[in-house]
A and B are shown apart, each in its own frame.
Chain A
Amino acid sequence: MDVVLEETGPGRAVVGDPVLEIRNLSVDYGYDEDPVHVLRQVSLTLHRGEVLGLAGESGCGKSTLAYAATRLLPPPGLVTGGEVVFTDRDGSRRDLLALSDTELRASRWQDTAIVFQGAMNSLNPVFRVGRQIADGIRAHRPEIGRAESLEKAAELLELVGISTDRLRSYPHQLSGGMRQRVMIAMALALDPQVLIMDEPTTALDVVMQRQIVEQIADLRERLGFSVVFITHDVSLLIEIADRIAIMYAGEIVEDAAAQDVYRRPRHPYASGLLHSFPPLRGPKRELGGIPGSPPDLAALPSGCAFQARCPYAFDACAAVRPELVTPAVAGDDPRRTVACLRHDPDRVAAAGFEPVPVPPELAAR
């Protein structure tokens, strides 16, 4: 992992034990006989102090994963299997999916807090932002008085770089970037250990985006929480995340250190995604994106969900479901995983097909 260390940015903290372990999480949408299996056996581990990026196209299930892991999945969503184990600072562990309502209320915002996609538009337009933050605090900590909660709100605003004279502003008087900071401030109110952010900067322009991700990096350094950062913008993740998980059609298809995903992608979809962003510098090259479009989750083919768009598909791909394995590339970080049959000759052979080797484009050193 020395590669990762030497390329580590200034804000990267030392990564520790697991703090949030998502195991075999499955989610369906729809209660009828024919629900859509939106998440299928997703496993993902967030370590203490880590920024974990979750990338993938719209509709692949990123938000669903965030909601399900925090037990905020709205109907008709239903968790059909799996667990989400949270490890506290004292080492005690609990499955968030098995908590009673009371326990859940105590856990929410303190163990894990979430900043929703489009949250900056969910502030109540008729209340001043200071009061909204204060009310949020009091909802979880009724013992805190009004004055004290307003004081806390002021501190939180200051923490995210908004001057306290904005306490008395209404949401419409703030820019999009400031409203997004208010949402981050609220999420930090009870000092969470895990902060899940769903597309926190997607609606903002790049200058504001840069200011917000800097802020998050800075706060993480000072307050020591771990982050799950969800976005479709892999180039942003490569900059800010320690590790990146790539999702496709409701499954994780690649999970590796950020620099490994960037320089040594092993899954054809991860590689295609990286080649969908024209570079800002360096030689200009012709790019094609990925042919076709993401599959309909209600009508997934058997075998690999990416087969229709994959330039490396072979006969086994239509029949055998790939699972996450260590890449079949000598010298790879043993902790990274990829779900592609090109990397899994054993599974291919066991199903009676002839294995096909990893193409050189997916074996870069």
Chain B
Amino acid sequence: MSNPPHVPGPRSAPASDVPALQAVGLRKHFPVRGVRSHDVVHAVEDVDLELHRGRVVALVGESGSGKSTIARLLAQLMPATAGQVLVDGQDATVHGRRAFRAYTRRVQMIFQDPFASLNPIHTVRYTLTRAVRIHQGRLRGEQLEAALTGLLERVQLVPAAQYVDKFPHELSGGQRQRVAIARTLAADPDVLLADEPISMLDVSIRLGILNLLRDLRDRLQIAILYITHDIASARYFADRVMVMYAGRVVETGDAESVTQEPAHPYTQLLVRSAPDPDDLAARAHGAHGEAPSLVHPPSGCRFHPRCPFAVDLCSAEVPPLLEVGAERQAACWGYSDRPDAPVLGSVLDAYGDRSALAAATGPARPSTVPVEEDLS
């Protein structure tokens, strides 16, 4: 596709419902290294996703569920095994460096580690000047200075003069992440892919970065993909939430309903496992199992080995995303009307009674452990 001439500055509100960035049927299989191995890691499978201007979509899931892989596919940092990436409804698959550079002008990425993503030997001025020149042409003198000041002000590093000549090690983690965000803004992107942008920052400054991103969403009408494993921060920051499990999207919907009334059993487990001191009774106790191998993922629903409601159908066929409410979907057979569908309950009932569960399945304490007598 050809890119329209680039005009920096504030934008008008979204004119249409065409997503700024869209993925259709995204799939990524990584080959497993080995002599005669034909195995692959099924990292991402059949993911559809839409990012709209001025909206935040949170991608939530446990470690290894494929969140970062999706971000890298959307940033076109690596080729997809299958599927398509569209910008403003047009196929945007890049071939070659020039096309990639044009693409990065629209779609920018922020990484988890602000320590690693800024070059320690360069000042803030150098880092931002380079980004400005790549994306806005060879500005000089006052124009360049104004551009740098503008970028630092947008990320609330004011007065800009106090930060512009600093090296990364002279900045705190939060300030570094702000510089990293300022660098992406030099491209005046339509889309920001933020891969765990706060998880390596101190807890007290995380909200400052989320509030900044939200401000950019509102003022610049940027579409944001917010990747996190912290479902409470997804509720705080995102408009919509997509929950991933083992490479597949298992639930989507508006952030409030997904976090308050999770439909998919895995989302329920996730929500009920997060610490919530206000609601100690509603925590899932005694859950067991762990994420499956993605080299030989479980057949059918990938959650079935851990799911307390699984029936034969669950291991036989992959559940499609089914409607479970207004603009809400869950990939669970429990929401189909097939006669062989599972009957869902609440994971709290299934996992709730810790003492009962421990009595039923907990390993009896081995009598030879020599601590018995010490207890008396």
Q: Does A155 lie at the interface of the complex (its beta carbon under 8 Å from any beta carbon of B)?
A: yes
* Cα–Cα, bound, A239→B133 (Å): 51
- Among the stretches B90-98, B335-343, B365-373, the one at the interface with A is B365-373
Asked if residues A287 and B274 are in contact (CB atoms below 8 Å), the reply is: no
Q: Does A233 lie at the interface of the complex (its beta carbon under 8 Å from any beta carbon of B)?
A: yes
A191-B374, A294-B204 given; 6 more Cβ-contact pairs under 8 Å: A57-B204, A206-B270, A279-B232, A279-B276, A289-B203, A289-B204
On whether A276 and B204 interact (CB within 8 A), knowing A175-B290, A214-B354, A288-B211, the answer reads: yes
Quick one: closest B residue to A11, CB to CB? Answer: B354
Asked if residues A210 and B283 are in contact (CB atoms below 8 Å), the reply is: yes
Quick one: closest A residue to B171, CB to CB? Answer: A293
Quick one: closest A residue to B285, CB to CB? Answer: A214
Quick one: closest A residue to B174, CB to CB? Answer: A293
CB distance from B254 to the nearest CB of A (A): 12
- Among the stretches A31-39, A218-226, A337-345, the one at the interface with B is A218-226
Q: Does B162 lie at the interface of the complex (its beta carbon under 8 Å from any beta carbon of A)?
A: no
Q: Does B58 lie at the interface of the complex (its beta carbon under 8 Å from any beta carbon of A)?
A: no
Chain A residues with CB under 8 Å of B235's CB are: 278, 280, 284
Quick one: closest A residue to B209, CB to CB? Answer: A289
* Cα–Cα, bound, A322→B53 (Å): 49
Task: Please pick, from B174, B233, B269, the residue contacting A207 in the complex, using a CB distance under 8 A.
Answer: B269
Asked if residues B202 and A293 are in contact (CB atoms below 8 Å), the reply is: yes
Name the interface residues of A155-210: CB closer than 8 Å to any CB of B: 155-156, 158-159, 161, 175-178, 191, 204-210
Asked if residues A178 and B279 are in contact (CB atoms below 8 Å), the reply is: no
Asked if residues A281 and B276 are in contact (CB atoms below 8 Å), the reply is: yes
Asked if residues A205 and B62 are in contact (CB atoms below 8 Å), the reply is: yes
Chain A residues with CB under 8 Å of B62's CB are: 205-208
* Cα–Cα, bound, A176→B291 (Å): 10
Taken residue by residue from 124 to 136, chain A's Cβ proximity to chain B (1 for < 8 Å, 0 otherwise) reads as 0000000000000
- Among the stretches B76-84, B99-107, B355-363, the one at the interface with A is B355-363
* Cα–Cα, bound, A206→B266 (Å): 12
Chain A: residues with Cβ within 8 Å of the partner, total of 56
Asked if residues A222 and B365 are in contact (CB atoms below 8 Å), the reply is: yes
* Cα–Cα, bound, A222→B362 (Å): 12
On whether A89 and B374 interact (CB within 8 A), knowing A233-B275, A239-B275, the answer reads: yes
On whether A281 and B203 interact (CB within 8 A), knowing A207-B62, A214-B354, the answer reads: no
Asked if residues B375 and A207 are in contact (CB atoms below 8 Å), the reply is: no
Q: Does B69 lie at the interface of the complex (its beta carbon under 8 Å from any beta carbon of A)?
A: no
Name the interface residues of B221-237: CB closer than 8 Å to any CB of A: 229-233, 235-237
Task: Please pick, from A57, A152, A222, the residue contacting B202 in the complex, using a CB distance under 8 A.
Answer: A57
* Cα–Cα, bound, A349→B138 (Å): 61
Asked if residues A9 and B375 are in contact (CB atoms below 8 Å), the reply is: no
Chain B residues with CB under 8 Å of A191's CB are: 369-371, 374
CB distance from B244 to the nearest CB of A (A): 12
Task: Please pick, from B205, B229, B362, the residue contacting A290 in the complex, using a CB distance under 8 A.
Answer: B205
Chain A residues with CB under 8 Å of B203's CB are: 57, 232-234, 273, 276-277, 289
CB distance from A137 to the nearest CB of B (A): 11
Chain A residues with CB under 8 Å of B284's CB are: 210
Asked if residues A289 and B205 are in contact (CB atoms below 8 Å), the reply is: yes
Asked if residues B276 and A235 are in contact (CB atoms below 8 Å), the reply is: yes
Quick one: closest A residue to B362, CB to CB? Answer: A218
Name the interface residues of A209-247: CB closer than 8 Å to any CB of B: 209-211, 214, 218, 222-224, 232-236, 238-239
* Cα–Cα, bound, A177→B287 (Å): 13
Q: Does A76 lie at the interface of the complex (its beta carbon under 8 Å from any beta carbon of B)?
A: no
Asked if residues A293 and B172 are in contact (CB atoms below 8 Å), the reply is: yes
Chain B residues with CB under 8 Å of A277's CB are: 203, 232
* Cα–Cα, bound, A272→B271 (Å): 24
Asked if residues B374 and A287 are in contact (CB atoms below 8 Å), the reply is: no
Pairs A-B, 9 closest by C-beta atoms: A278-B236, A289-B207, A205-B62, A290-B204, A238-B277, A293-B172, A210-B273, A155-B366, A235-B275
Q: Does B29 lie at the interface of the complex (its beta carbon under 8 Å from any beta carbon of A)?
A: no
Quick one: closest A residue to B256, CB to CB? Answer: A284
Q: Does A262 lie at the interface of the complex (its beta carbon under 8 Å from any beta carbon of B)?
A: yes
* Cα–Cα, bound, A355→B237 (Å): 40
Q: Does A333 lie at the interface of the complex (its beta carbon under 8 Å from any beta carbon of B)?
A: no
Q: Does A58 lie at the interface of the complex (its beta carbon under 8 Å from any beta carbon of B)?
A: yes
24 pairs, A vs B, C-beta closer than 8 Å: A10-B355, A58-B202, A159-B369, A178-B290, A191-B371, A206-B62, A218-B358, A223-B371, A233-B275, A235-B277, A273-B203, A276-B203, A277-B203, A278-B207, A278-B235, A278-B237, A279-B276, A280-B232, A282-B278, A287-B236, A290-B204, A293-B202, A293-B204, A294-B204
Chain B residues with CB under 8 Å of A361's CB are: none
Task: Please pick, from B207, B237, B287, the residue contacting A210 in the complex, using a CB distance under 8 A.
Answer: B287
Asked if residues B375 and A223 are in contact (CB atoms below 8 Å), the reply is: yes
* Cα–Cα, bound, A76→B193 (Å): 41
Chain A residues with CB under 8 Å of B329's CB are: none
Chain B residues with CB under 8 Å of A293's CB are: 172-175, 202, 204-205
* Cα–Cα, bound, A281→B260 (Å): 7
CB distance from A213 to the nearest CB of B (A): 9
Q: Does A315 lie at the interface of the complex (its beta carbon under 8 Å from any beta carbon of B)?
A: no
Chain A residues with CB under 8 Å of B211's CB are: 288
Chain B residues with CB under 8 Å of A156's CB are: 369
CB distance from B113 to the nearest CB of A (A): 13
* Cα–Cα, bound, A282→B260 (Å): 9
Q: Does B259 lie at the interface of the complex (its beta carbon under 8 Å from any beta carbon of A)?
A: yes
Q: Does B89 lie at the interface of the complex (its beta carbon under 8 Å from any beta carbon of A)?
A: no
* Cα–Cα, bound, A351→B235 (Å): 47
Chain B residues with CB under 8 Å of A282's CB are: 278
* Cα–Cα, bound, A223→B229 (Å): 33
Q: Does A151 lie at the interface of the complex (its beta carbon under 8 Å from any beta carbon of B)?
A: yes
Quick one: closest B residue to A189, CB to CB? Answer: B369
Task: Please pick, from B277, B285, B286, B368, the residue contacting A155 in the complex, using a CB distance under 8 A.
Answer: B368
Asked if residues A281 and B207 are in contact (CB atoms below 8 Å), the reply is: no
Q: Does B208 lie at the interface of the complex (its beta carbon under 8 Å from any beta carbon of A)?
A: yes
Chain B residues with CB under 8 Å of A278's CB are: 207, 232-233, 235-237
Taken residue by residue from 58 to 78, chain B's Cβ proximity to chain A (1 for < 8 Å, 0 otherwise) reads as 000011000000000000000
Task: Please pick, from A152, A161, A175, A209, the residue contacting B291 in the complex, using a CB distance under 8 A.
Answer: A175
Quick one: closest B residue to A289, CB to CB? Answer: B207
CB distance from B209 to the nearest CB of A (A): 9
Quick one: closest B residue to A293, CB to CB? Answer: B172
Quick one: closest B residue to A296, CB to CB? Answer: B172
* Cα–Cα, bound, A57→B280 (Å): 24
CB distance from B32 to the nearest CB of A (A): 13
Asked if residues B274 and A159 are in contact (CB atoms below 8 Å), the reply is: no
Quick one: closest A residue to B365, CB to CB? Answer: A222
* Cα–Cα, bound, A282→B368 (Å): 48
Q: Does B328 lie at the interface of the complex (its beta carbon under 8 Å from any beta carbon of A)?
A: no
* Cα–Cα, bound, A9→B355 (Å): 13
Asked if residues B274 and A279 are in contact (CB atoms below 8 Å), the reply is: no
